[in-house]
Each structure stands twice: as structure tokens, then as C-alpha cells.
């Protein structure tokens, strides 16, 4: 009876540790997105970082150090079930994020990354791609030749 109680307690602790570890990833990205200094040019890199971290955790099977230690105390069948459920959760989270956020070079947020102050210098090629993707040349009556000359003078 006592061993069964300890087994259940350890199993519960493993699941709670997994939740704590994964919730931290979500909390971290929410805090990044809610910062006053976060702008639309940062959005793609934040979401890409988040997706890569979830995929990395899933592929490595790493859900937290303490959880790994506790998982070793479980029976092999309980540990396998837990791992399968953790992987299924991460697969669902990854699918959901990929469904609602476009991770491709066609996403205009992808193009705007180059405008971030943390990305370094902005190149003419970056500006040309952005103006074409957002159809700004006709809307704003921009002269790409003039813009190129400005970039050459400041380089």
C-alpha cells in the first residue's frame, strides 16, 4: 500500500514537473511579446525562437532535469507512457503554433526582421524586399533609385 502511494506520488510529481518546465517556455515567450519595447519587427524572431525550443525539447526528450531524475524512479512502462504523453503534448503545441503563425519567408514579419535595431545594419536588398512585399513603391511613390543612392552614400 505504501509503495503504491509512493509510486503514484512520484508519477504525479513527474507530470507536475513537466508542466512546470513547459509552462516556463510559454511564459517566457508571452513576456517577450508583452514587453513595451517589442515591436512587429521582433515578432517573427520571437515566434521562431519559441518554435525551435519546443521542437528541440521534443526531439531531445528533455523536459527538465528534476523530471528526468524522477522519471528514472518509475517503472519502465509508466516512464514510457509519460514520455509518450509529453511528446504528444509538445507535438500538439508545435502543430498549433505552426497552424496559426506562418513560418516562411513569405510572411511579411520575416522580412521586417531586418529592420530590428538588434539585427545590425539594414541593407538595400532588405529594404527592396520589404518595399516589394508590402507594395510600398506605388503606394508611397518611392523611387528605388533614390533609395539605393541614399544607401550607397551612408555605407
Residue 116 lies in a domain: no
pLDDT surpasses 90 at 8: no
| Residue 149 pLDDT class (50, 70, 90 cuts) | confident
133's grid cell? 512585399
- Residue 66 inside a domain? The answer is yes
What are the angstrom distances between the C-alpha of 28 and each of 15, 22, 34, 47, 88? 20, 10, 10, 11, 21
Residues 86 and 127 in one domain: no
pLDDT at 50 over 90: yes
The pLDDT of residue 70:
78
- Assigned C-alpha cell, 131: 518595399
Mean pLDDT of all residues in 31-55: 93
Does 76 share its domain with 8? yes
> Above 80 in pLDDT, residue 7?
no
Residues 39 and 87 in one domain: yes
Q: Does the structure show a pLDDT above 70 at 107?
A: yes
Tell me whether residue 108 is in a domain: no
Mean pLDDT of 90-96: 97
Q: Do both 97 and 24 map to the same domain?
A: yes
Residue at 111 is within a domain: no
Residue 104, judged by CB atoms within 10 A of its CB (0-12, 13-18, 19+), counts as exposed
27-41 residue pLDDT tens: 999 999 999 988 888
pLDDT: is 52 or 142 the higher one? 52
Query: Is 14:67 a contact under the CB 8 Å cutoff?
Result: yes
Question: Which pTM does this prediction carry?
Answer: 0.79
Judge if 96 and 139 occupy the same domain.
Answer: no
Domain residues for the domain of 58 are 2-103
Q: How many domains does the chain have?
A: 2
126 located within any domain: yes
For residue 48, give the nearest of 125, 102, 129, 117 by alpha carbon: 102
Amino acid at each position: 500500500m505504501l509503495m503504491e502511494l509512493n509510486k503514484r506520488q512520484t508519477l504525479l510529481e513527474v507530470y507536475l514537473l513537466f508542466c512546470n518546465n513547459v509552462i516556463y517556455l510559454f511564459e517566457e515567450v508571452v513576456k517577450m511579446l508583452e514587453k513595451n519595447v517589442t515591436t512587429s519587427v521582433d515578432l517573427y524572431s520571437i515566434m521562431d525562437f519559441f518554435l525551435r525550443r519546443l521542437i528541440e525539447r521534443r526531439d531531445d526528450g528533455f523536459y527538465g532535469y528534476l523530471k528526468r531524475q524522477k522519471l528514472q524512479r518509475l517503472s519502465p512502462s509508466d516512464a514510457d507512457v509519460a514520455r509518450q504523453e509529453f511528446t504528444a503534448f509538445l507535438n500538439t503545441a508545435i502543430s498549433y503554433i505552426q497552424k496559426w503563425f506562418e513560418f516562411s519567408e513569405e510572411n511579411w514579419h520575416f522580412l521586417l526582421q531586418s529592420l530590428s535595431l538588434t539585427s545590425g545594419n539594414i541593407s538595400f536588398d532588405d529594404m527592396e524586399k520589404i518595399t516589394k512585399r508590402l507594395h510600398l513603391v506605388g503606394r508611397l511613390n518611392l523611387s528605388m533609385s533614390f533609395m539605393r543612392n541614399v544607401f550607397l552614400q551612408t555605407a
